[in-house]
Amino acid sequence: MRKISHLVLSTVLPCIALAGQDQNNDRFDVASVKAVERPSLGERRGCTGGPGTLSPMNWTCAHVQLTDLIFRAYDLELYQSKRPEWVDEIFLSVAARAPEGTTKEQFRRMQQNLLEERFKLAFHREPREATVYTLFVGRSGLRMHASAEGSPAAETEWSRVPGATIGPDRYPVFPEGKQGLMGVNNHIRWRSSNVTTADIVKVLRRAKKTDVVDGTGLNEKYDVDIFWENESFDIAPHPHPFDGPEIEKALQDRLGLRLESKKGTVSVFVIDHIEKKPVEN
């Protein structure tokens, strides 16, 4: 991951989180956290389970970055974080069990407590000047259609869609009936049903690397099929000239949405202390 630069402003928001703080006593019943080697090519990585999944009480992670766990626990995007570079090089295996009936919000607090206890994580938040965006319905009207009842749940996480190929335009092509959010060499395709404007804002924050606010007033769930090129999507230099479309044009042409920018501030999560190895289980 890239190192995130930030502008320290005169006003710092005091939000120090220390190990041992009681957050409504939200703890996993059992949790194992172990340091592992960087995954090899093709080796399984990522997290599964938790509230809202087929395994709501069991949460497991294989070869997951410590950075990713922090982002999950505190609902952060890359642009919202300032951390030591070595944090990106720590990989972990996690197995945890949550009490029956745990909500998504309680689950997130459990993840936070786990990081603060096992890694002695302490942080604060501070504002950073940035360009921010508001999402509106396009001037020519909405082009999205409401999803049919019983459609698959929304896909908003980056993934490799099984069976996907690369078309002549260098964009991913998904098999019939498959949906997901996938990028190859800066060429990104997102096809999904049951998407809310909150989901769209979430994806746009990653694409624009700054805050995006929903100003559409829309409350339906929609089908989306959109593709765009990000010049800075990959760490490696772009292998060919940028040939678009940019995300703003794709939004207008495919979804009937538009972005308006203005100067503002974003809240940056600044790590003050974190251990390199987890406390023993």
pLDDT in tens, 244-281: 799 999 999 999 999 999 999 999 999 999 999 999 77
Between CA 254 and CA 260 the distance in angstroms is: 17
pLDDT in tens, 107-129: 999 999 999 999 999 999 999 99
pLDDT in tens, 128-166: 999 999 999 999 999 999 999 999 999 998 888 889 999
Over range 184-206, report the average pLDDT: 94
Of 10-24, 64-78, 170-184, 247-261, the least confident: 10-24
Cis amide bond preceding 84, omega within 30:
no
pLDDT in tens, 223-251: 999 999 986 443 334 455 666 799 999 99
Over range 42-56, report the average pLDDT: 87
Over range 63-70, report the average pLDDT: 96
Indicate the average pLDDT of the chain: 87
Contacts of 79 (CB under 8 A, 6+ apart): 4, 130, 205, 209, 210, 266
Token pair of 222 as six digits: 């929609």
pLDDT at position 45, please? Answer: 82
pLDDT at position 25, please? Answer: 67
pLDDT at position 23, please? Answer: 44
Task: Identify which has the larger pLDDT, 163 or 16.
Answer: 163
Considering only CA atoms, which of 13, 12, 6, 14 is closest in space to residue 83? 6
pLDDT surpasses 90 at 39: no
* Phi–psi pair at 122, nearest 5 degrees: -135, 140
pTM (two decimals): 0.73
Residue with tokens 């202390």: 273
Between CA 62 and CA 48 the distance in angstroms is: 9
The band of 42, judged by pLDDT with boundaries at 50, 70 and 90, is confident
